[in-house]
Structure 1
Amino acid sequence: MVETPFRRDLDDEEIINFFIVCSIVGLFILGPVNYTCQQGPYQSKLSHSMDSFTISNIPKGSNRLWLHFSCLCFISFYVLHLLYKEYKGMLEKRIQHICNHRHQPDQFTVLVRGIPLCPEHNARGCFVDHFFSKYHSHSYESYQMVCDAKEIEELLHVASSLDRKIKNLQQRIAERKHSSRSIFSKMLQENVSQLEMQEEKLQEVLHKIHLLQHENILKGKELPAAFVSFRCRWGAALAAQTQQHEDPLLWITEVAPDPGDVLWNNLAIPYSQLVLHKIGVFIASALLTIFFALPVTAVQGIVQFENIKKWFPPVRAVQLIPGLSSVLTGYLPSFILNSFIYVVPYAMLSMANLGGCTSRSKREIKACNMVFCFLVGNVFFLSLLSGSLLDQIGESFTHPKDFPGRLASAVSAQADFFITYILTDGLSGFSLEILQFGLLIWHFIMAHSFGQETKNKPYLYSFPYFRVIPTVSLAILIGMVYAVIAPLLLPFLIVYFFLGYAVYVNQMQDVYESVYETHGQYWPYIHQYIFIAIILMQITMIGLFGLKSKPAASISTIPLLLLTILFNEYCKISFLPTFHHFPIKNARENDDRDEVEGQVEPKREPAIDAYRPPWLRSTDITSRESGFTQPLVTPP
C-alpha cells in the first residue's frame, strides 16, 4: 500500500476545528441573541422550539442583525484563512511527495494522442519514433504503442471462463475418486472426458491469444495513442506541457497517469470525438438530476404531513398509532432520501467512464463533480423548494416579487429537516461504511452466480472518493449556510464529522488499498466545493437581511461576496497551475539529485515497460486482476 500525505484530506481536523469555532460563536453569541429577542414571532407560541434560536426570531429592522453580519464576516474571513493555509500546505505536500516518489515511471513518461499515420510506412509506431527522435533527441528514450485489443480481451474472457470450468471439474473428480459406488464411477468417467475436452479448448484459445500478441499482428491494430518514455524527468515534463504541432489536434501530449491508473479501453476513443462524449455525459447526468427531483419532492411531501392529509385522507389512520407520525415526518424522509442517494455515485461513475477519461483518477474526479452538483441541486435546493415552499408555490406565481423573500425564509424553515438528514447520513451512512454491506452482497452474487472464487483470492478495493467527497462536501455546505441562520445545527454537524473522521481513517488504514496515485489532485476540487458553500452562505444572508428589512446589512454583505470571489481567483492564479502541471525546475532538481546519487540508469529502465497493456504482459488467466482492486496478499 502506498502511504501518502493526502489520505486524510477528506475529513481533516481543520474541518472539525472550523465548525467547533463556528459552534462557539453560534451557541454563545448568536443563540442567546436570537432567543432573548422579546419581540420575536416565536416567543409567544413556541418558546422552546428550535425556531426561537434561529434568525427567524429576530424582528424586522432590529439592530441585532448587525451582530449576525459581524459573525458572518468573522466566519467568512476565518474559512478563507483556513483555505489559503490548506491550499498552500497541499501544494508543498504535492511537490514533496513527487520528490519522494521521483522514481515512479509516470514521471518519465508522456501520453501522446492524435498520432497521424507515417506517410512512408503507413504505420503510427515508426512515426512516433521519428518524431520524438528528431524534436526531442536530447531526452527521448522509447515508446509503447496502444493497440486495439478487443479480440484479445474477448479470448481472455473465454479462457478465464474455461479455466473456472476446469477447476470445478477437477474438484468434482477429486471428490468422486473416493467413492466406490458404480453410479459415481460412471459420472467420474464423464467428468474426466469433459475435463480433457475443456483443457483442449483452453489450449486452443491460449494459442490464438499468443498469435494475436505477435508484433506483426499488433502493428496492424495500432491506435493513434502511445506512451513515450524519456531519459530524464525534465524532458518528459517539457514534452508533456508544450504544443508539439501547429495543428492542435495532432500530437497532443499530457503527463502520463500512474500505470495502475490507466483506462486502456478509453484510449481507443479518437481525441476529436471526446467533445461528443463529454456532451453526452453532461446530458445524461442532467437528465438523472432532473428525474431524481420526483422522489425528492415525494420525500419532502412526507415532511409536510398536513398537506398529505389534505391530498390523501386515508393517511389520517397513521395518527392512531402513537409516535408513528413523528417517525414518518422526521426520520423516514431522510432515510428514504439517503437510500436513493446511495446508488447515485455509482451511476455517475458509469457515466463518467463514457466521457473518454484516460485514467481512473480523472474519471472519479469527473464523477465527484457530477455527484456534488447533483447533491447540491436535489438535496439542498430542491429540499428547500419542495419543502417549506410547497404550500406557497401558488402565491409565489401570483406575487413573483415576493419569491426571493420566500426563498430566504425557506432556508431557516428547513433547519429541522437538515438536522435529521445529517443524523441519518451519519448513523446509516457510517454504519454501512463499516459493515461494507454493499460489497458483501456483491461478493455473494459474484461467488454464487458467476462462479468467481472470491474466497480463495480476496481483494482490497480502492477508496471511493467519488462517493465520500461529495457527501462530506454537502455536509460542509449545509453547515456553512446554517452557521449564522440556525447555529443549533452545528453541534450535530460536529458529531457527524467526528464519526466520519474515526470511520474513514480506520477504513483508509485497514480496509481500502491505494490502487493509483494522484499526488493530491482532489484538493483543488474540494477547495472549489467549499468556495461554493461560502458563496451560498453569503447570498443567503443577503436575502435574509433584505427579508428582515435591513438593506444596509444586505448592501454591506456585497463587498464581502466580491472579496470572496477575488480570493478564489487569487488561489486559481497562485496555486492551481502547479496542480495541473509539473514545474520544469523541480523536475530538473530531481534529475540532478539522481545524478549525484548515481541512480539514473537503474531507475530509468522500469519506465519503458511499465506501460505495457495488461493483455500483453501475461496470459496467466488465473492471476488477472481488476483495475479497481489489488490482491490482499501479493507474492514475494
Structure 2
Amino acid sequence: MATLGDIGVAATINILSAFAFLSAFAFLRIQPINDRVYFPKWYLKGLRSRSLHTGAFVSKFVNFDFRSYLRFLNWMPAALQMPEPELIEHGGLDSAVYLRIYLIGLKIFIPIACLAFAVIVPVNWTNKTLEHSKLKYSNIDLLSISNVPLGSNRHYKLSVKAKALQALNGQIFWIHLVMAYTFTFWTCYVLKREYEIVAAMRLHFLASEHRQPDQFTVLVRNVPPDPDESVTQLVEHFFLVNHPDHYLTHQVVSNANKPSELVNKKKKMQNWLDFYQLKYSRNPSQKPSMKTGFLGLWGETVDPIDFYTSKIETLKKEISLERDKVMCSSKSVIPAAFVSFKTRWGAAVCAQTQQTRNPTLWLTDWAPEPRDVYWDNLAIPFVSLTIRRLIIFVAYFFLTTFFMIPIAIVQSLANIEGIEKALPFLKPIIEVKVIKSFIQGFLPGIALKIFLIFLPDILMLMSKFEGFISRAALGRRSATRYYIFQFINVFLGSIITGTAFQQLDNFMHQSANDIPKTIGISIPMKATFFITYIMVDGWAGVAGEILRLKPLIVYHLKNFFLVKTENDREEAMDPGAIGFNTGEPQIQLYFLLGLVYAVVAPFLLPFIIVFFALAFVVYRHQVINVYNQEYESAAAFWPDVHGRIITALIVSQLLLMGLLSTKEAAQSTPLLITLPMLTIWFHRFCKGRYEPAFVRYPLQEAMMKDTLERAREPNLNLKSFLQIAYIHPVFKEVEESESDPASEESDQEPVLIPTKRQSRMNTPLPSKHSGSMTSLG
C-alpha cells in the first residue's frame, strides 16, 4: 500500500518525466528541420510554406539564434492567447468545445478542492479510527473518511479525548453530508451553464457556417426492393412524389470496397517505387536490387524499379476493371442513397420525419459531411446491423470480464506483501526503501497504462464491425465503450481486487457481517493507487503527447527515404487528430475519480487539477499548431460528455451512501437518497431543454439561412455543387473529369419521370403500362 513517501517518489519520477518531455519539445520545436512536425497545421492551411529560418545551409536544419532558446517556454502563453472565436475558425467547433471539457474540470474541482481542504481534511485528520483498527493503512489514509469513527465506537477502548470526539461523531458525518450536497449543486450549476453555452455556440456555428453539402443532404437507408425499378429509379421516383418542391438530386450507394482495397495497395506500391527511385537518383552508379520473397529475405532477385512499375501498371488496370464492374453491375448497388434537396429547410423536413407508414423502410437521417463518411460500412446490409451489434455486445462482455485478470495483476503489484509471498527470493531487494517506493508508487500506474495501450484500437474495430457509417459515430461509440470499460475495470475492478489483496487477512479472520465495513473503510484507501495512475497517465502522458516522438521519427524517415517533391513532404507529415474516442473517456475517468473522492478522500483532487490545467494548455497548443481536423460534427458529442459527468456524480452519491451505511451513520445516510433523485431530475431538465439543439436542426434556422443565401446568391447552381459531393472517392476523379456544368438543367424546372411501375391511383407520375402521361405539378 502506497505511503506518502511512495507517492512522493512517484511524483518526483513523473514530474521529472514531464519536465524532460516538455524541455525536449521546447528544444526540438524551434529547430527548422522539425518545423513540419510541430507546425503541420499551418502548412496544410497554406499559411506556412517553409521554415522561418533563412541564411546559411546549416541554419536550415539547426537554430543558431540563441535568443530563441531563452524564450523556449513562450509556447505556453502563445497557446492561451488565441481568442475562442478565432480558435473555432482556425480549428473547428469540435476542437474548441473539446477543450472546454478541461475547463469544466478546472471550474468544478478548484472550488471543490478549496472547500474540501478547508473543511473535510481537518475533520478526517483529527480522528483516530485507523490507529485503533487492525486494517492495513498508510499515513496518507489518515486524511480520508476511513479515519472517521463508526456511528458507535463500541469496539474500541477510547481515551478521554476520543470519547469527547465520539460525542461529535454524528456531527462529523453531517459535515460530509453537507459537503456532498454543496459539491453536487456546484457541479450541476457548472454543467447547466456549460450546456447552455455550448448549445448556443453550436447554433451560432451552424448559422454562420459556409455552405456545405451535408446541409442539403440526407442519407436514406433500407430502400425496399422493387421488381419494376432499379434502386436509383425508385429513389428518384419516391422523392419526386413525396418531396416534389424540394428534391434536387441523389447518389445511390455502391459497394466499392474491392476497388478501394486495390487503390490502397497501389499507394503502398507507389511508396516503394518512390523509395527505390530516390535511392537510385542519389547513387546512379549502383543500381538497387531486391528479392521478391517474404520481407525481401528470399526469392528471385529483381530490379525494384521495374518490378514496382510493372505491379503498379497491373493494379491500374485491375482498378479500372473493378471500377467499371461496380458502376455497371446492379449487384453492387446498396439499397441506400444520399438524397440532396434544393433548400436546407427541405433537407431538415426529410431528415427529421418518418417517410412511410412502415417505420422500418425509407429511413432518413442527416448525412455526415463527405469527409466524415466511413465508406466501407455503407456496403453493409441494413438488416444485418442488429446481428452485428449483438455479436459485438457478446464480444465486449467477454473482453470486459476477462480484463479483470490484468487488473488483478496490477493490483498485486501494489501489494508488497503479496509479491514477497509469491516471490520470496525478491524480498531483500523489494525491502530497499527506494525500490519499495518505486514499486508501490509508480509501477502499478505504469503497468495499468501498458495494459490499456491496445484497448482503443480493439474498441474501434468493434465499432467498425457494428456498421456505423460516419467517423464521428464510430468515435462516439468507441468512446462510450471505453468509458464503460474504464468504469468497470479500472475503477470498480481496481477497488474490488485492490481491497481483496490488501485486506485478505481481515477477510479470512472476521465474520461475514464485518466484511462490508472493511470494504467501506478500504474504498477511500484505494485513492493512493489512483493517484499513481493519474500521475503516469495524466501528467507524464500528456507531456509526452506534445513531444510527438513517433510522428517526429516517422517524418524524418519518410523525408529521407521517400520524399521527392513538396507534395511528398506534405504527405509525410502526420498531424493526427484530437482523438475523441480515447481522450474523452480518459477525461471522464478523472471526473469520476474527482467526484467520488471529493468527499471521502479529497487529497486526490490536487493531482486531478494539475492534469486538467496541463492538458488544457498542451491540447490547446496542439489544436492551434498540429491537429488537422478529420471531420466537423458541430459539437454533436456534447450530450455524451454531459451525461457521463452526471453518471459520475450519481455514482459518487451512491458510493457515499454505501460508505456511510458501513460507518453506521444511520441518521445522515437516508438524506443522501435525495441527491441522486435531484441529479436525475436535473439531467432530465437539461436533456429536454438543451439536447434538442444537438439532435435536431430547427426549421426556423434552416429557413433563415436559405433566405439569406437566396438573397446573396440568386443565381447559385446548387446542383453542380452537390452532384458529386457524395460519390465514393474511388469514382470521384472520373466523375469530376466527366461532369459538364453546361448540361445542368435549371433547378426550378418541372421534372417528368418515366417509370416501369404499374399505375397507381395516388401516383401522379407517368407509367408505360397505363399509357397516361401526367406531369408533376
Q: Distance in 1 between matches of 2:314 and 2:250?
A: 31
Structure 1 unaligned segments of length 5 or more: list them: 621-636
Equivalence for 2:332: 221
Q: Which 10-residue stretch deviates more, 428-437 or 494-503?
A: 428-437
Q: Does 1:611 align with 2:726?
A: yes
Output aligned runs, 1:351-430, within 5 Å.
Answer: 351-390=462-501, 392=503, 401-430=513-542
Q: Distance in 2 between matches of 1:186 and 1:19?
A: 62
Equivalence for 1:146: 253
Given that residues 116 and 599 in structure 2 are in contact (C-alpha distance below 8 angstroms), is that contact kept between their aligned partners in structure 1?
yes
Q: Distance in 2 between matches of 1:47 and 1:400?
A: 21
Equivalence for 2:239: 132
Q: 1:16 aligns with which of 83, 106, 119?
A: 106
Percentage of identical aligned residues: 30
Q: Distance in 2 between matches of 1:166 and 1:313?
A: 57
Equivalence for 1:26: 116
| 1:158 positional shift | 4.5
Could you say if the C-alpha distance between residues 114 and 44 of structure 1 is closer, same or farther in structure 2, counting changes exceeding 3 Å? closer
- Give CA-to-partner distance per residue, 1:137-178, whole Å, 9 cap, x none: 11000011111223322432443345345435544554565x
Given that residues 146 and 522 in structure 2 are in contact (C-alpha distance below 8 angstroms), is that contact kept between their aligned partners in structure 1?
no
Equivalence for 2:696: 581
The residue matched to 1:225 in structure 2 has which SS? strand
Q: Distance in 1 between matches of 2:366 and 2:590?
A: 34
Could you say if the C-alpha distance between residues 433 and 99 of structure 1 is closer, same or farther in structure 2, counting changes exceeding 3 Å? same
Q: Which amino acid aligns with 2:547?
A: L
What TM-score results when the alignment is normalised by the length of structure 2?
0.73
Output aligned runs, 1:247-262, within 5 Å.
Answer: 247-262=358-373
Output aligned runs, 1:59-208, within 5 Å.
Answer: 59-61=149-151, 62=169, 63-101=171-209, 103-121=211-229, 123-168=230-275, 170-171=277-278, 174-175=281-282, 177=284, 179=285, 199=309, 202-203=312-313, 205-208=315-318
| 1:249 positional shift | 2.8
Q: Distance in 2 between matches of 1:86 and 1:472?
A: 16
| 1:435 positional shift | 2.3
Q: Distance in 2 between matches of 1:211 and 1:319?
A: 66
Q: Distance in 1 between matches of 2:132 and 2:115?
A: 22
Equivalence for 2:343: 232
Q: Which 10-residue stretch deviates more, 241-250 or 539-548?
A: 241-250
Q: Distance in 2 between matches of 1:588 and 1:415?
A: 54
Equivalence for 1:328: 439
Q: Distance in 2 between matches of 1:510 and 1:35?
A: 46
Could you say if the C-alpha distance between residues 364 and 158 of structure 1 is closer, same or farther in structure 2, counting changes exceeding 3 Å? closer
| 1:319 positional shift | 3.6
| 1:554 positional shift | 0.7
Equivalence for 1:625: none
| 1:267 positional shift | 0.6
Equivalence for 1:530: 645
Q: Distance in 1 between matches of 2:312 and 2:130?
A: 79
Q: Which amino acid aligns with 2:245?
A: H
Q: Distance in 1 between matches of 2:638 and 2:125?
A: 39
| 1:581 positional shift | 1.9
Could you say if the C-alpha distance between residues 198 and 449 of structure 1 is closer, same or farther in structure 2, counting changes exceeding 3 Å? closer
- Give CA-to-partner distance per residue, 1:71-97, whole Å, 9 cap, x none: 110000110111111112211111111
Equivalence for 2:626: 511
Q: Which has the larger radius of gyration?
A: 2
- Give CA-to-partner distance per residue, 1:208-249, whole Å, 9 cap, x none: 534544486255521111111100001111111112223333
The residue matched to 2:347 in structure 1 has which SS? helix
Given that residues 199 and 690 in structure 2 are in contact (C-alpha distance below 8 angstroms), is that contact kept between their aligned partners in structure 1?
yes
Given that residues 94 and 519 in structure 1 are in contact (C-alpha distance below 8 angstroms), is that contact kept between their aligned partners in structure 2?
yes
Equivalence for 2:402: 291
| 1:521 positional shift | 1.3
Q: Distance in 1 between matches of 2:575 and 2:626?
A: 7
Output aligned runs, 1:305-344, within 5 Å.
Answer: 305-319=416-430, 321-344=432-455
Q: Which amino acid aligns with 1:50?
A: I
Q: Does 1:51 align with 2:161?
A: no
| 1:205 positional shift | 4.0
Q: Distance in 1 between matches of 2:441 and 2:428?
A: 17
Equivalence for 1:263: 374
Q: Distance in 2 between matches of 1:395 and 1:13?
A: 43
Given that residues 249 and 271 in structure 1 are in contact (C-alpha distance below 8 angstroms), is that contact kept between their aligned partners in structure 2?
no
Q: Distance in 2 between matches of 1:432 and 1:410?
A: 33
Q: Distance in 1 between matches of 2:287 and 2:651?
A: 73
Q: Distance in 2 between matches of 1:403 and 1:108?
A: 61
- Give CA-to-partner distance per residue, 1:28-63, whole Å, 9 cap, x none: 1111222234x5444999999222222222222311
Q: Distance in 2 between matches of 1:47 and 1:154?
A: 58
What TM-score results when the alignment is normalised by the length of structure 1?
0.88
- Give CA-to-partner distance per residue, 1:440-483, whole Å, 9 cap, x none: 57768989999999756223222111111111110111011111
- The root-mean-square deviation of aligned C-alpha atoms, in Å, is 3.3
- Give CA-to-partner distance per residue, 1:108-139, whole Å, 9 cap, x none: 00111112334224x21111111111111110
The residue matched to 2:338 in structure 1 has which SS? strand
| 1:69 positional shift | 0.7
Given that residues 53 and 488 in structure 1 are in contact (C-alpha distance below 8 angstroms), is that contact kept between their aligned partners in structure 2?
yes
Given that residues 106 and 256 in structure 1 are in contact (C-alpha distance below 8 angstroms), is that contact kept between their aligned partners in structure 2?
yes
Equivalence for 2:76: none
- Give CA-to-partner distance per residue, 1:501-543, whole Å, 9 cap, x none: 1111111111211110111111111111111111111112112
Given that residues 140 and 229 in structure 1 are in contact (C-alpha distance below 8 angstroms), is that contact kept between their aligned partners in structure 2?
yes
Equivalence for 1:7: 95
